[in-house]
A and B are shown apart, each in its own frame.
Chain A
Amino acid sequence: MMSDENHAGLSDTNHKISPGTIKRRGFLKIAAAAIYGSIAVLLGLPFLKTLITPAVMKRSRFSKVAELSTIPVGEPVDIHFSAPAQDAFYHDQAMHTVWVLRGKNGSVSAFSPVCPHLGCHYDWNNKARQFQCPCHASTFAADGTVLGGPAPRSLDTLPHRIVNGALYVRWVDYTPGIPEKVAV
């Protein structure tokens, strides 16, 4: 009903056909629609973000895993630690495991315990000096590189920090089965 008049009003101002041809009622219609419309947009866009952001956002923090001095040098160990887990307004402590390798040169690596092939939990075979996944027999060296089996990439390292002699790790889930390390 008003689209035609809207169109006419806009083309008059844009193309300078003849000033003053916007009819009074046409102007009022456009103005009312513009005002109500802008309120709707000013609220509608933010509200869309409100619904989308929590659905796509994941946040995790660094959690203390262990004092560095308690971790043996040269041999990977699996350490359980609790990390704060937030699900909307519910806060909980989630238990996670991390494989930590403390090198002789002082380097520290923290591996996600999840096999990058299909998500099984692998183990360390001290005799063979390698990580072995029980599901599809992927094997990895102590530094995480693939030695054999179907694993498409090295073991995933988790972000970590060392603060005052304690190891902190941030838990991240990575997508299994693909060559690239991509957070879920």
Chain B
Amino acid sequence: MRPLGAINEWLAARWPFSEVSRLVLDEEIAGGASFSYSFGSAVLTVFAIQAVTGIMQLFFYVPTIRDAYRSVGYLHTEVPFGWLIHGLHYWGAQVIIVLMLVHLARVFIWGAYKTPRELTWVAGVGLLLVLMAFSLTGASLPWDQKGYWAGQVSTSVAGVIPIVGSAQKILLRGGQEMGQLTITRFFGIHVAILPLAFLALFSLHIVAMRRFGSAGPWEENKRKLKGPFWPDQVFKDSIVAAVVFVILLTLVVFLPYQFSGPANPFDTNYVPKPEWNFLFLYQALKYFQGSLEPVGAAGIPGLLIILLLVLPFVDRSTERSPFRRPLVLLCGFAVAAAVTAFSLAGYLSPGYGTTADAVKTGSSSSGPWKLTVQAVRSTDTSASDGDTNSGSGAAPAGSDATGPSVSGEAGEAAYVIGSAQRGAMLFNDQCSGCHGEAGKDGLPNPGSVSGSVPVLNPIDQALLSREPTVFAGNIDRVIQHGSLPEGSPSIAMPAFGDDGTLNQQQIANLIAYIMALNGVDRAMITNPGIRPVTFYLVTLGVFLFMGLILAGAWSRRSAEPASEDQARGNK
């Protein structure tokens, strides 16, 4: 104990620990601690989780248009607890905005933004904008379909703003078009500029808040009683933090991140939709068309920001009770209702996920190629060559090799997590003509030994594997390089990849769909560390156990009269 004391003393003489801890912890809360004041601290807790998971992702993610998506897929499925890191960051980004809005609504209803707390409010509005910018730049970083198109649309929206618009757009994109410089810029903004901006505004926010203390209840007489921030409020905050953490984990485990497939700038039937927190703007823009577009693009967000910023300067009465500020409250709720209504309308409007069109066009299309024999690489000869280079990549050792023999390496698509949903649309369009709807039948193939085109659902046992990358590689080689059935078939599988009929993104989506038809999830987590559901139960167990111990300790303490509580009241 003694050397520790000496170190403490030495440090205390050189750094103002007690002053700092007093600044952070010693605060009188008017009216005492309350759960309703916990939302700001909950935002901070989630921000801490975002910071840690963000830094963890920096050890795996690369901001390049070729590899960003693959690096995210690798982290999520092949690195232990990658699903947890990526999932927490993804869901944390949603939850933090919800908490921020609840915090804002709480301060608004309590009238806590009023003089002398204007600066606290303004810094808080700044923090909300920083979070929105985090959300916008972060969504594009995986360079998946969803993120690519969100970035495409948001920078276009920024581009229609009068005067500064086009400069703003090319500065954000790093050029006229979305590309490598876009992802690098979004990355730089997301991991360097915004965290610094957040910390700066957070310091402003918290110091300004401490300057005048917590506003407390709106009733004057309730404010006379004081309670300490530490530990009373911190204890309540910690309970809220635990609840928020469990909610976050529930989302991560039971609504896992959906891979939307690699970004495909040439996908013409993708209807991009922004993240939920930008849906109101997306929807509102639909009502401002042509020359009015700039009004929507700049006017609506601009107006909302200005309304928030000027609120404490316009609403100057000292009355804090929500029941005696009907006009302000009404305006606030009207704005909130409008934003919610626009968001809902945007959410319900048609977009990504509507497969009705694809189903309609599917049966009418027999594919872009003619049903004639195509010269594809014959694999019978390669085996008898006896050359020493005949290794066929990740051939499934131990499997029955009597299936369609295909040579050639797996293409890029084999290592990319495609979207089965996008793949389904493409399959209807390109593949169902021969392989039947959902791959269930094969068209007759006169002249071939088997007599028909292979059924893909269920797929040939030689291609099937429980290991996603192996299975994907097996399917990939057939789609990339084609296949010639044994005999003298009238139909051969074209080399969709080699002849450029399909790009790698499309092939990745098709692979994901064909795997899904055979009961294998392309995005399966192959190295979870601990299975998500198990981890979830462990977490609940830890909290339950801790709760029981704390409850036990609490009940022992209550055996004695609450002398401490009385002392607190007198203070």
Contact = CB atoms under 8 A, between A and B. Distances in A.
Given A28-B232, A34-B546, 5 more contacts: A12-B556, A22-B556, A24-B565, A36-B238, A64-B397
A93 B560 contact: no
B429 interface: no
A47 B81 CA distance: 7
A54 interface: yes
Interface in B407-466: 409-410, 414-415
Nearest to B390: A66
A168 B401 CA distance: 13
Given A24-B565, A42-B542, A89 B80 contact: no
Nearest to A97: B388
Interface in A159-173: 161, 163-164, 166, 168
Nearest to A41: B542
Given A62-B397, A89-B67, A91-B414, A49 B546 contact: no
Contacts of B535: 46
Contact of B56 (A24, A47, A90): A47
Nearest to B25: A1
A180 interface: no
Contacts of B144: none
A27 B386 CA distance: 77
A32 B237 contact: yes
Which 3 A-B pairs give the minimum distances between C-beta atoms? A70-B386, A20-B560, A20-B559
Contacts of A93: 393, 409
B395 A32 contact: no
Interface in A21-60: 21-25, 27-32, 34-36, 38-39, 42-43, 46-47, 49-51, 53-54
B96 to A, nearest CB: 15
B71 A88 contact: yes
6 contacts: A13-B553, A43-B52, A61-B394, A79-B388, A84-B473, A88-B71
A177 interface: no
A141 B460 CA distance: 44
Contact of A38 (B70, B84, B397, B542): B542
Interface stretch (B174-182, B239-247, B487-495): B239-247
Contact of B81 (A28, A50, A84): A50
Interface string B526-565: 0101100001001100110010001011101111101011
A38 B546 contact: yes
Nearest to B237: A32
B288 interface: no
B565 A31 contact: no
B231 interface: yes
A115 interface: no
Contacts of A47: 52, 56, 81, 85
A79 B553 CA distance: 71
Contacts of B82: 50
A168 B73 CA distance: 29
Given A13-B556, A19-B559, A50-B56, A31 B550 contact: yes
Given A39-B241, A50-B529, A93-B409, A82 B79 contact: no
A83 interface: yes
B221 interface: no
B539 A42 contact: yes
A82 B393 CA distance: 7
A71 B555 CA distance: 79
Interface in B235-267: 235, 237-239, 241-242, 245
B400 interface: yes
A140 B313 CA distance: 90
Chain B interface secondary structure, helix, strand, loop or mixed? helix
B49 interface: yes
B415 A91 contact: yes
Contacts of A84: 393-394, 473
B392 interface: yes
Contacts of A66: 386, 388, 390
Given A36-B241, A49-B80, A89 B71 contact: yes
A93 B402 CA distance: 24
Contacts of B349: none
A163 B556 CA distance: 69
B231 A29 contact: yes
Given A9-B553, A66-B388, A80-B389, A32 B397 contact: no
A83 B45 CA distance: 46
A2 to B, nearest CB: 8
A89 to B, nearest CB: 4
A20 B392 CA distance: 73
A31 B232 CA distance: 10
Interface string B372-404: 000000000001001011111111011111100
Q: Kindly name the residue among B80, B535, B568 whose own CB sees the greatest number of chain A CB atoms within 10 A.
A: B80
Nearest to B81: A46
A30 B557 CA distance: 13
A61 B474 CA distance: 14
Interface string A66-95: 110110000000011111100011110100
A93 B234 CA distance: 55
Nearest to A35: B238
B39 interface: no
A159 B553 CA distance: 58
B74 interface: yes
B242 A82 contact: no
B555 to A, nearest CB: 9
B388 A39 contact: no
A70 B397 CA distance: 19
A27 B81 contact: no
A50 B80 contact: yes
B59 interface: yes
B89 to A, nearest CB: 12
B511 to A, nearest CB: 14
B79 to A, nearest CB: 6
A20 B386 contact: no
B546 to A, nearest CB: 6
B75 to A, nearest CB: 8
A91 to B, nearest CB: 5
Contact of A24 (B386, B394, B557): B557
B389 A81 contact: yes
Contacts of A145: none
B397 A163 contact: yes
A39 B81 CA distance: 15
B569 to A, nearest CB: 12
B212 interface: no
B333 interface: no
Given A31-B235, A34-B546, A22 B59 contact: no
B21 interface: yes
Contacts of B560: 19-21
A1 to B, nearest CB: 7
